[in-house]
Amino acid sequence: MLPLVSPHGSASMARLSHHCRCSSGALLGPLFLRAALAITFIWAGLGKVIPLMPLDSSQAALLTSMGVSIPVAPGVISTPASATAPDPDVLTKPLPPPDPTPIRPAPSEADSPIAPTPAERAVNPGSSPLPFTQQVTPPAASAPRSSEPPAAELAPRATEIEVRRMWGLALRLHASAHPAADGSGKVPMKLWPEFLGKGNWPRYFAIAVVIAELAGGVLVAIGLFTRLGAFLLIGVMVGAIWLDQLGPAMQVGNTTLLILPGYGVWDIAAWRPLLWQFSLFCSACALTLLGAGVPSLDRALGFMKGRGDDDDL
């Protein structure tokens, strides 16, 4: 009896099964990378545009020199309602006249039927000879109320200056290009080119970072020009890792293996930001190499064909 499947057919079926398993991984794997990158960078981009951050006067002046328009909310004078309209009667009304009833003089000991005896006076010399005598004093004149509120209430509140958080990145780039001298007068190494930290360049780079985060996140999310969007995110993460982690560690001379921050080996809280940034960087690199996978607009529109992607993938 002949076998139903030839040895060559069995080998072909095995290769097809293996190819299907590999294709499923290649098709579905990029979806997880796209989801993680899209959520993270769209959130990060919106977090630089929507929320506000406070500024002091020197930071506001620096941003103004970069061409940033800063809305200033003027201080408001806080005045209580009772002081806004003083009562004219309180200021002009004269004091009431004193009571015309004359004060009777205290009766003498001779007129008092219960005057203390010399023996009682010797026992309590400080006691009043007439316990029932009441000393009456005229009421003290009260000073008129002032119509002006206290000086503390008249002082205006501090001027509130708030800008979008994206301009904090412009300040960060300027500070990285112009580091301040330390206590010994030594100027640390510059983390950003000086010519890119002058004029309007920090503002331009801040805008470019926000556009890269939002545009890259949206492109990765919908799977359109996925490799381009992932490449934008790679650039954002390279700058973030350098300016936030590696550069400051090298600037102060606290490094491990020449470039890594000198954190404790098991200091999880200290390493968490760098590891998170490195994970995003690696995910963007992997998505750049793999492509969008399915479902994606790149595959639906045929952009994946002829661009290094297997047509079966």
Give the Cα separation of 86 and 149 in Å (integer): 10
Give the Cα separation of 11 and 258 in Å (integer): 52
Q: What is the mean pLDDT of residues 182-206?
A: 92
Tell me the per-residue pLDDT of 125-148, one tens digit each, with 9 for 90 and over: 555 554 444 454 555 555 555 555
pLDDT higher than threshold 80 for residue 230:
yes
**Quick one: tokens of 1?**
């009896």
pLDDT higher than threshold 50 for residue 16:
no
Distances (CA, A) of 118 to 102, 125, 127, 131, 132: 32, 10, 12, 16, 18
Per-residue pLDDT at 182: 83
Q: pTM to 2 decimals?
A: 0.66
Per-residue pLDDT at 183: 81
Q: What is the mean pLDDT of residues 280-298?
A: 92
E strands present in the chain: 52-54, 72-73, 160-164, 255-256, 260-261
SS3 at position 73: strand
* pLDDT category of residue 93 using cuts at 50, 70 and 90: low
pLDDT: which is higher, 248 or 4: 248
Per-residue pLDDT at 206: 97
Per-residue pLDDT at 185: 83
Of 12-26, 40-54, 242-256, which range is least confident? 12-26
Tell me the per-residue pLDDT of 34-81, one tens digit each, with 9 for 90 and over: 999 999 999 999 999 999 999 999 999 999 999 999 886 555 444 444
CA torsion, points 212, 217, 220, 224, in degrees to nearest 10? -60
Q: First and final CA of the chain: distance in angstroms? A: 40
Per-residue pLDDT at 7: 52
- Contacts of residue 193, defined as CB under 8 A and 6 or more positions apart, other chains included, come to 177
Q: What is the mean pLDDT of residues 99-116?
A: 54
Tell me the per-residue pLDDT of 234-247, one tens digit each, with 9 for 90 and over: 999 999 999 999 99
- Contacts of residue 192, defined as CB under 8 A and 6 or more positions apart, other chains included, come to 173, 176, 177, 243
**Quick one: tokens of 247?**
């550069």
pLDDT higher than threshold 50 for residue 1:
no
Contact 170, 200 (CB under 8 A): no
